Amino acid sequence: MRTENRLQYLTEAAKKDGFVSISAAAEHLGVSIETIRRDINRLCAEKKLRKIRGGAVPLKLLMRSDARYEDRKRDSVQEKLLIGKAAASMIRSGMTVLFDSGVSIQSIAQCLHNIRDMTFITNSIPIASILLDKLSQQTVTGRLIFIGGRIHPENRCACDIIASEALERYSSDIAFVSCTALSADAVSSDDTDESRYSAQLLRRASMTVLIAESVKLGKNAVCTFAHPTDFNRIITADTHPIPDDLQKLLESSDTELCVVSDAPST
């Protein structure tokens, strides 16, 4: 196959699936792995792809953090709410709960009511604000601990070394973790500091729950921070199909997959 045809295939495959695998592309195109690596290096030099472990992703995926915060809040509002309700139903009075940052995690806080003697821990300013309102209104009771540090301007959270050191002081019953992308190979983010902080949450909780909107499934971002089977439960929606390899992986593991329906009620 001519070089131009290979480059076109790699670019289109990455855009379609959010990730192109070196080994899979080599097998599909009938060329060596080294040939595909050279092709990907060329596309990266042309700023069409970005290399990650095992392949490459389109630059557009990596620029997600440049999207305005308010725009992300408006995306998939109904799906976020359904996922938030499913996650909130896991929380019981008396628990210590860790919240990662992210718009999807905010929906969990918004869905909390009639729980008592809680300890909430978060590094997210919007989530802290939601919880403060609920505590002041006494729709929930307990205390709020804010993990401080340098504030990330887009996601409005603290996730630097100061935040990481502060987090080490706490343990929790349950942690809700967000991500940019979820595939059978990796749970990933597009920000190094956020991914490091999210990975740390897994070590600070007895139970870990990954929150992943369905549009993130089958994709990879630049910073891998966990494997799907590192979580006790993954909550997503049926708006987009679950990739077969991810479905099979979770079925053969101890990780529970919870899929909420985004279909309108009739």
The 8 Å CB, 24+ separation contacts for 157-162 are 157/101, 157/123, 157/124, 157/125, 157/194, 158/123, 159/101, 159/123, 159/191, 159/193, 159/194, 159/196, 159/197, 160/193
Which residue is listed with tokens 């790699």? 10
How many angstroms separate the CA atoms of 218 and 212, rounded? 11
223: its two tokens: 């910073």
Q: Where are the domains of the chain?
A: 3-63, 69-260
**pLDDT tens readout for residues 129-166:** 999 999 999 999 999 999 998 887 777 888 889 999 99
Class of domain 69-260: alpha beta
| Confidence (pTM) | 0.72
**Mean pLDDT within 67-88:** 72
Mapping DSSP onto H, E and C, the string for the chain reads CCHHHHHHHHHHHHHHHCCEEHHHHHHHHCCCHHHHHHHHHHHHHCCCEEEECCEEEEHHHHHHHHCCHHHHHHCCHHHHHHHHHHHHCCCCCCCEEEECCCHHHHHHHHCCCCEEEEEEEECEHHHHHHHHHHHHHCCEEEEEEECCCCEECCCCEECCHHHHHHHCCCCEEEEEEECCEECCCCEEECCHHHHHHHHHHCCCEEEEEEECCHHHECCCCCEEEECHHHCCEEEEECCCCCCHHHHHHHHCCCCEEEEECCCCCC
In this structure, which CATH number among 1.10.150.20, 3.40.50.720, 3.30.930.10, 1.10.10.10 belongs to the domain 3-63?
1.10.10.10
Q: What is the pLDDT of residue 227?
A: 97
Distance CA 214, CA 260 (A): 10
**pLDDT tens for each residue of 81-105:** 899 999 999 999 999 999 999 888 9
> Rg of the chain's alpha carbons, rounded to an integer?
20
> pLDDT tens across 2-45, in order?
898 899 899 888 876 667 888 889 988 999 999 999 999 999 88
CB neighbour list of residue 208: distance below 8 Å, 6 or more residues apart: 174, 175, 177, 201, 202, 230, 231, 232, 233
- Return the axis-axis angle of helices 3-17 and 33-45, rounded to nearest 10°: 80
- pLDDT at site 159: 85
Phi, psi dihedral angles at 124 (to 5 degrees): -105, 125
pLDDT band at residue 72 under the 50/70/90 scheme? low
**pLDDT grade, residue 263 (50/70/90)?**
low
pLDDT tens for each residue of 186-225: 999 988 888 999 999 999 999 999 999 999 999 998 899 9
CA 214 to chain centroid: 11
Query: Quick one: pLDDT at residue 63?
Result: 43
